[in-house]
């Protein structure tokens, strides 16, 4: 997160690989990196290239325009040591004031889609519809959406990208309470009413796994807002990630049902959810490691895709988590099943997964999968290192994930809503511009996508 005196997109808080391909038919094939040149015509008609970000990462103007505080405002101010450079989103990239310049840059570099998120506390400062709508916040997003459309850029709008209004966290501990479902439905309906005549692509949640694991466990990804875990001042890593995730899924189902029942026929848009996962490779050919890789995938990806496709959690989660895993009622399961028009996928890297013979330490959502994750085997990394220590370039994982999703989860339409890398050589402007590592990253991942389509 960087402060900026110029256009925000130049500072890199955009995950610049945003793609669409429709349902595809193929069987899994070995991934081979192709060196032959290719361009947009190499992909199907209707394929989109774009950029994506989120409100707290790039908007700034935290105390402007009637915006209320979110849990990320609280977290970064109370625990600056949890942020690598101690920064916060008070100013961020100042998209709030520079959005017109950024849209020009999006158009200049040839992108035709942009994924943004709505700051819940910018439109509902107290979190609740009954406590008042902030007209300045509504006007801001109307202006951004209109500017995008005027420049031929399709908006994709995420309703929740981790920035819960602090008022709801204070009132009933946010996602740990089922009371959130009604408030999220109200917030979603406000957005559908105000923006749905122009927004045709809605995403309910971004990366529920990252939000629930990072916010309520923290072992896998490190603590994120609201900063709860067994070793934190408050929290329980054995139960709270599952409770928060359960309520999040019910919020998603409620928003989708509302949109489909009340708005989709007239607004003619689509609604989905964005999920994230690494690809998990067995540490060895041993049967136990092969099963461990599948469990790792179930506990990251399956945790949220299985309910929205099949109406329940993966069998491995039900078995290993037991009574700590909440259960859906028959009605909830039916509402969840098939609750999306498209699936967003975020992908960054791969891991090796090895079987763990017995659990050690605290019980948590991270340890429940009974797997040990690593990025290397005997010192040999899974791919080329990037500027993010835990992320290695592994394009084959993207190919495998796309084919796996097609075959296991009924061939959904897919948007790759994030895929990118942190550049380790961005200390000077010259190195930022001359970035062969990033060029190689995108080239190889685009080839992986095309191979999956084929």
| Residue from 383, 397, 387 nearest 435 by CA | 387
How crowded is residue 234: how many other Cβ atoms within 10 Å of its Cβ?
11
Pairing of strands 380-381, 371-374: unpaired
Q: Specify whether 219 is catalytic.
A: no
Are the CB atoms for 248 and 159 separated by under 8 Å? no
Sign of the alpha-carbon torsion through 384, 345, 449, 372? positive
C-alpha gyration radius of the chain: 21
| Strand 414-418 versus strand 18-21 pairing type | antiparallel
Q: Can you tell me whether residue 312 is helix, strand or coil?
A: coil
418 included as an active-site residue: yes
Specify whether the CB–CB gap between 55 and 119 falls below 8 A: yes
**Contact (Cβ atoms closer than 8 angstroms) between residue 90 and residue 63:** yes
∠ CA 85-379-288, rounded to 5° = 105
CA-closest candidate to residue 345, choices 394, 418, 400? 418
Kindly name the residue from 207, 331, 407, 454 that is annotated as catalytic: 207
Residue 18: alpha-carbon gap to chain centroid:
12
**437: Cβ contacts below 8 Å, ≥ 6 apart:** 384, 386, 421, 423, 424, 425
- How far CA 355 is from CA of 84, 220, 221, 293, 295, in Å, comes to 31, 16, 20, 8, 9
Scan for tokens 């993207």, then name that residue. 398
The catalytic position among 169, 219, 240, 418 is 418
Task: Point out which residues pair with 293 in neighbouring strands.
Answer: none
The answer to whether the beta carbons of residues 52 and 160 sit under 8 Å apart is no
Residue among 358, 341, 163 nearest 263 (CA): 341
Nearest C-alpha neighbor of 381 from the set 358, 353, 350, 359: 350
Beta strands in 9-93 (DSSP E): 18-21, 49-52
Where in the sequence numbering do the catalytic residues fall? 207, 418
């Amino acid at each position: 997160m960087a402060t900026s005196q110029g256009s925000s997109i130049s500072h890199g808080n955009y995950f610049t690989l945003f793609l669409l391909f429709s349902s595809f038919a193929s069987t899994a094939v070995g991934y081979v990196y192709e060196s032959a040149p290719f361009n947009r015509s190499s992909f199907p008609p209707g394929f989109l290239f774009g950029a994506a970000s989120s409100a707290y990462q790039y908007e700034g103007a935290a105390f402007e325009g009637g915006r209320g505080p979110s849990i990320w405002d609280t977290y970064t101010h109370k625990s600056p040591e949890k942020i690598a450079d101690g920064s916060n989103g008070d100013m961020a990239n100042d998209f709030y004031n520079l959005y017109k310049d950024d849209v020009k840059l999006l158009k200049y570099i040839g992108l035709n889609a942009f994924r943004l998120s709505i700051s819940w506390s910018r439109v509902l400062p107290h979190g609740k519809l009954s406590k008042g709508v902030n007209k300045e916040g509504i006007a801001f997003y109307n202006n951004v959406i209109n500017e995008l459309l005027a420049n031929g850029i399709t908006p994709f709008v995420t309703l929740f990208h981790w920035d819960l209004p602090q008022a709801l966290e204070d009132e009933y501990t946010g996602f740990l309470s089922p009371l959130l479902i009604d408030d999220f439905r109200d917030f979603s309906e406000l957005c559908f009413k105000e923006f749905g005549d122009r927004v045709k692509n809605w995403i309910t949640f971004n990366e529920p796994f990252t939000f629930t694991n990072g916010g309520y466990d923290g072992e896998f990804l490190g603590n994120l807002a609201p900063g709860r875990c067994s070793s934190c001042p408050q929290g329980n890593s054995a139960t709270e990630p599952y409770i928060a995730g359960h309520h999040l899924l019910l919020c998603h189902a409620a928003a989708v049902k509302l949109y489909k029942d009340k708005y989709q026929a007239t607004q003619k848009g689509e609604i989905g959810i964005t999920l994230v996962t690494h690809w998990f490779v067995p540490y060895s050919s041993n049967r136990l490691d092969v099963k461990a890789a599948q469990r790792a995938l179930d506990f990251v990806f399956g945790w949220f895709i299985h309910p929205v496709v099949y109406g329940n959690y993966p069998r491995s989660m039900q078995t290993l988590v037991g009574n700590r895993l909440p259960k859906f009622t028959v009605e909830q399961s039916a509402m969840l099943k098939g609750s999306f028009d498209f699936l967003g996928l975020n992908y960054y890297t791969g891991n090796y997964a090895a079987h763990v013979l017995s659990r050690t330490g605290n019980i948590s959502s991270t340890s429940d999968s009974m797997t040990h994750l690593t990025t290397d085997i005997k010192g040999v990394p899974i791919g080329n290192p990037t500027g993010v220590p835990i992320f290695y370039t592994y394009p084959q994982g993207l190919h495998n994930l796309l084919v796996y999703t097609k075959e296991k989860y009924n061939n959904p339409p897919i948007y790759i809503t994030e895929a990118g890398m942190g550049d380790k050589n961005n200390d000077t402007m010259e190195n930022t511009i001359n970035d062969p590592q990033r060029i190689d990253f995108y080239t190889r991942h685009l080839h992986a996508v095309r191979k999956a389509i084929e």
